[in-house]
Amino acid sequence: DSGVTQTPKHLITATGQRVTLRCSPRSGDLSVYWYQQSLDQGLQFLIQYYNGEERAKGNILERFSAQQFPDLHSELNLSSLELGDSALYFCASSPRQGPYEQYFGPGTRLTVT
């Protein structure tokens, strides 16, 4: 158990809908990262927050947004969903900014029908 929790574990929704994925980092970790994992694209970095502030953006679509709250949990919002958004979404945390290892949650499997 990494100490990172993600909810829900599975999510099935229709095209055009909006969903929110939730992540709670390990106790004491200030940095949260979101990733998308699909068979054809591998593990893609989406966005990073550090102590409530956005720090880096990767291959995140404009339809996707995220935030980190004062209690350090984070939410990833996906809107106007398309079939191609079906993937595993992982959250990871690390203690602080720097070249440190990351601790991954179990992921949320999103299926868009």
Partner 1 sequence: GNSVTQMEGPVTLSEEAFLTINCTYTATGYPSLFWYVQYPGEGLQLLLKATKADDKGSNKGFEATYRKETTSFHLEKGSVQVSDSAVYFCALTPSGGSYIPTFGRGTSLIVHP
> Under the rule (CB under 8 A), what is the footprint of partner 1?
2, 4, 33, 42-43, 45, 48, 55-56, 58, 90, 92, 97-107
Nearer to partner 1 (CB atom), residue 33 or residue 64: 33
Q: How far is the CB of 80 from partner 1 (least distance, A)?
A: 26
∠ CA 52-79-43, nearest 5°, is 70
| Cβ atoms 43, 93 nearer than 8 A | no
Length of the chain as a residue count: 113
CB of 106 to partner 1, least distance (A): 5
CA 2, 66, 98, 41 dihedral sign is positive
Residue 102 Cβ, how far from partner 1 at the closest point, in Å?
7
